[in-house]
Structure 1
Amino acid sequence: MGTGHYFWAIFYFTSLCSASLANNAKINFREKEKKVLDQILGAGKYDARIRPSGINGTDGPAVVRVNIFVRSISKIDDVTMEYSVQLTFREQWTDERLKFDDIQGRLKYLTLTEANRVWMPDLFFSNEKEGHFHNIIMPNVYIRIFPNGSVLYSIRISLTLACPMNLKLYPLDRQICSLRMASYGWTTNDLVFLWKEGDPVQVVKNLHLPRFTLEKFLTDYCNSKTNTGEYSCLKVDLLFKREFSYYLIQIYIPCCMLVIVSWVSFWLDQGAVPARVSLGVTTLLTMATQTSGINASLPPVSYTKAIDVWTGVCLTFVFGALLEFALVNYASRSDMHKENMKKKRRDLEQASLDAASDLLDTDSNATFAMKPLVRHPGDPLALEKLRQCEVHMQPPKRPSCCKTWLSKFPTRSKRIDVISRITFPLVFALFNLVYWSTYLFREEEDETVLPLL
């Protein structure tokens, strides 16, 4: 056997020995972790019922620092006034009783999956309606114990939280939904919650909400005092802005179209009664149906919302167009009645003229008294002549442009239609100007007030 073969045999043997030593070291290292856990959490050595001491081992309150990571926000419900969120919740505190030897830096931390092995803060979510842990495939929770006694608790949870809303500006509104966390039993003399320094709240980058946009979030403290003492509390205010494009397409534009369609009846002939009635009733029922559908998706609040003003005014315009046709129909019948009366009067005058001419023909030989050439000042005929002369001497009045334009339409019913063609669009345009300027300015004012909350 050559020298090369001896060299490869020695190298192979050395590799096997080093691998077996490494495996033994790993086994021994895992055994070290078990010994450390038994040493700090063994029976009679650690009591999870007793809270840790304060800062630097004093008798002050235990300080727990909190930070959360918002994974998703699934829905924001206007009817029930709640929202659902999934987050990773983390707490960190120091327990002097859990210090251990890190074996020259080789043992960075110990990991536990049973929260009842160590003392835990009694934190709860005060505005929670429903909540559950995630247990697929294994419970999404862990506890890390560091050599200096620091404890990190992390868990993934899903919560449905109450979110009281002010819907006066709906759908041009912004809503603040809070997440409140407080101690249930430990007062501030024993336990204090603080936000983690630096970045206490993180939000996933691709957070997407169908009808809202998360503009910003603010962290604050909300300690509460009761008959049993003062309790530490943390809160996160999430500021949501409602996406207006959905409501513009689904509500505002269709309402405008219905109002404009109701104006078509102003351009139809007065005699087209079935067409004008069916058009007015159809638009009115459609508008009422849309209004009821909008109200069905909102809670029954006692105040007036911005959408109520819009739908109410649009419904009024559609109803006004229907009433306008009723007025036109009444005026048309009145015009027909007057025209018939005039026709009868002309017939009577013509009949009287014919009778007078016949009488003149029969009495052509009769003698008539001569009229005086000079009349007295008190004579009625002289006064009538004088009055007619004064009238003719007065300068003629210039008719106004509106009267001149309306004189082209001899009947009152036609005048009502023509005036409605101009009045309804102008009033609706003025309403839009007032509506949008009012509510958009209100939105800006609320935006300046919200950071002060």
Structure 2
Amino acid sequence: MKMSKSKTRTLHCLWLFLLACLCSASLANNAKINFREKEKKVLDQILGQGKYDARIRPSGINGTDGPAVVRVNIFVRSISKIDDVTMEYSVQLTFREQWLDERLKFDDFAGRLKYLTLTEANRVWMPDLFFSNEKEGHFHNIIMPNVYIRIFPNGSVLYSIRISLTLACPMNLKLYPLDRQVCSLRMASYGWTTADLVFLWKEGDPVQVVKNLHLPRFTLEKFLTDYCNSKTNTGEYSCLKVDLLFKREFSYYLIQIYIPCCMLVIVSWVSFWLDQGAVPARVSLGVTTLLTMATQTSGINASLPPVSYTKAIDVWTGVCLTFVFGALLEFALVNYASRSDRAADMHRESIKKKRRDMEQASMDAASDLLDTDSNATFAMKPLVRHPGDPLALEKLRQCEVHMAPQKRPNCCRTWLSKFPTRQCSRSKRIDVISRITFPLVFALFNLVYWSTYLFRDEEEN
């Protein structure tokens, strides 16, 4: 009987222990379930009807009646385009705001409830921030709206949203395509003045940029954050801005514009080495290069806005077009000089012929006089004039005038004398001088152009 009673007590204790374990497990599960249900109760407690009014702004620092402080930071996800014609750029970013609203404080249950999450922005007070230089913008709603609001136990509110914006970017294209452009992102309060709302950049790292940011024609060099408060007749409004400094990639323009223009100018110089009589070849070469250069210039200007000032690319194309046009005018001058040379040669030949005829007539008359003289002896007409003959002396003086060396030797004249040019041929000498002058002047222009625009300080916009 004693053994049976002891066994009964043992079994009874064992059942009680198992029952206690089951009850504790059930209570733990219910506690977890009840803890998740507490989030709803907390939201109803702080945002319930009649308890929170989203139309009233939060109080200032330390519960004072000062302005509410909103700290802002952004994350630049991508920059899709920078348009020179419309002077705008498109950017996609994650925009975040954080402020303190003491009306939203709640119990965090010993740290187990880190924050509450909302997806409806109209349930809490929101700053009336807008982008002052925005042209277009939209939110992202695939698959769900890319927005959330986190409420922390101390009443701090974090608002985050992903947006795409097309923003105005006034550009100064005086140094195009060797320029740098500053595009701004401006954020300001629309209705609350600085007495009620102040925007501040978040301390630490207010602007972040994705690491693999790639732009086809620009490079993002750096960005600067600043404040841009504006005063109007209705008050002063808080404003934030971030300046993005873009440097234009020059390699594209070097390959597509500068090198082809140089090649066209050099091709136009080929006419200087063609024969003067090759009129169709020289005319077709000059006209073709001129039309090609004009087409290139119009294509460049078509991709740029019609600004009132002169751009660096305008100087380059204008000078190149002038060189090509100058080569064509040089041929017109050569052709005119060639015709003048031919007319002068014909005139000289006619004068020489008349002189020879006159000399022959005078010699014939002298021979007749000698024949009539009975006392004169037979004299044979000399085949070669003696050095003392007046006509021979005159011809000798003309040759000495043309062949006499200069008193002061000139390097250019010495170089020109090496070319097989006819005496007094101006047209050939124009070609020879152009072969030297055009390349030298173009090289000097390149030296001045690149030294001016590559080392010129960027002007303030």
* Residues 63 and 194, structure 1, Cα contact 8 Å, conserved in 2: yes
For the structure 1 residues 258 and 371, does the alpha-carbon distance in structure 2 shift closer, same or farther, using more than 3 Å as the test? Answer: closer
Question: Aligned pair 1:221/2:234, yes or no?
Answer: no
Q: Per-residue deviation at 1:240?
A: 0.5
* Residues 180 and 246, structure 2, Cα contact 8 Å, conserved in 1: yes
Q: CA offsets per residue over residues 389-429 of structure 1, 9 Å max, x none? A: 99999998354343344345575111111111111100000
Question: Residues of 2 paired with 1:237 and 1:186: CA distance?
Answer: 24
Q: Per-residue deviation at 1:126?
A: 0.3
Q: Per-residue deviation at 1:374?
A: 29
Q: Per-residue deviation at 1:331?
A: 1.1
Question: Aligned pair 1:16/2:26, yes or no?
Answer: no
Secondary structure of the structure 1 residue equivalent to 2:336 = helix
* Residues 173 and 443, structure 1, Cα contact 8 Å, conserved in 2: no
Q: CA offsets per residue over residues 8-44 of structure 1, 9 Å max, x none? A: 9x99999998886665444222210000000000000
Question: Aligned pair 1:298/2:296, yes or no?
Answer: no
Between 63-72 and 25-34, the greater mean CA deviation after superposition: 25-34
For the structure 1 residues 216 and 348, does the alpha-carbon distance in structure 2 shift closer, same or farther, using more than 3 Å as the test? Answer: farther
Secondary structure of the structure 1 residue equivalent to 2:457 = helix
For the structure 1 residues 391 and 260, does the alpha-carbon distance in structure 2 shift closer, same or farther, using more than 3 Å as the test? Answer: closer
Between 206-215 and 349-358, the greater mean CA deviation after superposition: 349-358
Q: Per-residue deviation at 1:324?
A: 0.7
Between 435-444 and 305-314, the greater mean CA deviation after superposition: 435-444
Aligned length: 442
For the structure 1 residues 224 and 370, does the alpha-carbon distance in structure 2 shift closer, same or farther, using more than 3 Å as the test? Answer: same
Between 191-200 and 16-25, the greater mean CA deviation after superposition: 16-25
For the structure 1 residues 51 and 343, does the alpha-carbon distance in structure 2 shift closer, same or farther, using more than 3 Å as the test? Answer: farther
For the structure 1 residues 394 and 14, does the alpha-carbon distance in structure 2 shift closer, same or farther, using more than 3 Å as the test? Answer: same
Between 393-402 and 143-152, the greater mean CA deviation after superposition: 393-402
Question: Residues of 2 paired with 1:98 and 1:216: CA distance?
Answer: 38
**Structure 1 residues not aligned, in runs of 5+:** 446-453
**Structure 2 residues not aligned, in runs of 5+:** 1-9
Q: Of 263, 266, 275, which aligns to 1:257?
A: 263
Q: Of 5, 19, 24, which aligns to 2:12?
A: 5
Q: CA offsets per residue over residues 46-94 of structure 1, 9 Å max, x none? A: 0000000000000000000000000000000000000000000000000
Question: Residues of 2 paired with 1:107 and 1:393: CA distance?
Answer: 110
Secondary structure of the structure 2 residue equivalent to 1:389 = helix
Between 270-279 and 151-160, the greater mean CA deviation after superposition: 270-279
Question: Aligned pair 1:186/2:196, yes or no?
Answer: no
CA RMSD of aligned residues (A): 5.3
Question: Residues of 1 paired with 2:374 and 2:106: CA distance?
Answer: 147
Q: CA offsets per residue over residues 328-386 of structure 1, 9 Å max, x none? A: 11111116776676667667766776676677667797899999999999999999999
* Residues 179 and 458, structure 2, Cα contact 8 Å, conserved in 1: no
For the structure 1 residues 276 and 100, does the alpha-carbon distance in structure 2 shift closer, same or farther, using more than 3 Å as the test? Answer: same
Between 410-419 and 420-429, the greater mean CA deviation after superposition: 410-419
For the structure 1 residues 363 and 266, does the alpha-carbon distance in structure 2 shift closer, same or farther, using more than 3 Å as the test? Answer: farther
Secondary structure of the structure 2 residue equivalent to 1:80 = coil
Q: CA offsets per residue over residues 129-156 of structure 1, 9 Å max, x none? A: 0000000001000000000000000000
For the structure 1 residues 156 and 439, does the alpha-carbon distance in structure 2 shift closer, same or farther, using more than 3 Å as the test? Answer: same
* Residues 67 and 195, structure 1, Cα contact 8 Å, conserved in 2: yes
* Residues 172 and 443, structure 1, Cα contact 8 Å, conserved in 2: no
* Residues 334 and 431, structure 2, Cα contact 8 Å, conserved in 1: yes
Between 127-136 and 340-349, the greater mean CA deviation after superposition: 340-349
For the structure 1 residues 388 and 345, does the alpha-carbon distance in structure 2 shift closer, same or farther, using more than 3 Å as the test? Answer: closer
Q: Give the greater-gyration-radius structure (CA).
A: 2
Between 426-435 and 408-417, the greater mean CA deviation after superposition: 408-417
Question: Aligned pair 1:208/2:214, yes or no?
Answer: yes
For the structure 1 residues 320 and 93, does the alpha-carbon distance in structure 2 shift closer, same or farther, using more than 3 Å as the test? Answer: same
Question: Aligned pair 1:93/2:93, yes or no?
Answer: no
For the structure 1 residues 368 and 431, does the alpha-carbon distance in structure 2 shift closer, same or farther, using more than 3 Å as the test? Answer: same
Q: CA offsets per residue over residues 141-178 of structure 1, 9 Å max, x none? A: 00000000000000000000000000000011000000
* Residues 370 and 376, structure 2, Cα contact 8 Å, conserved in 1: no
* Residues 180 and 458, structure 2, Cα contact 8 Å, conserved in 1: no
Between 368-377 and 51-60, the greater mean CA deviation after superposition: 368-377
For the structure 1 residues 248 and 390, does the alpha-carbon distance in structure 2 shift closer, same or farther, using more than 3 Å as the test? Answer: closer
Q: Per-residue deviation at 1:119?
A: 0.2
The aligned residue for residue 375 of structure 1 is 385
For the structure 1 residues 11 and 390, does the alpha-carbon distance in structure 2 shift closer, same or farther, using more than 3 Å as the test? Answer: same
Secondary structure of the structure 2 residue equivalent to 1:300 = coil
Question: Residues of 1 paired with 2:17 and 2:355: CA distance?
Answer: 136
* Seq. identity, %: 95
Secondary structure of the structure 1 residue equivalent to 2:195 = coil
For the structure 1 residues 409 and 374, does the alpha-carbon distance in structure 2 shift closer, same or farther, using more than 3 Å as the test? Answer: closer
For the structure 1 residues 288 and 31, does the alpha-carbon distance in structure 2 shift closer, same or farther, using more than 3 Å as the test? Answer: same
Question: Residues of 2 paired with 1:15 and 1:351: CA distance?
Answer: 155
Secondary structure of the structure 2 residue equivalent to 1:413 = helix
For the structure 1 residues 13 and 327, does the alpha-carbon distance in structure 2 shift closer, same or farther, using more than 3 Å as the test? Answer: farther
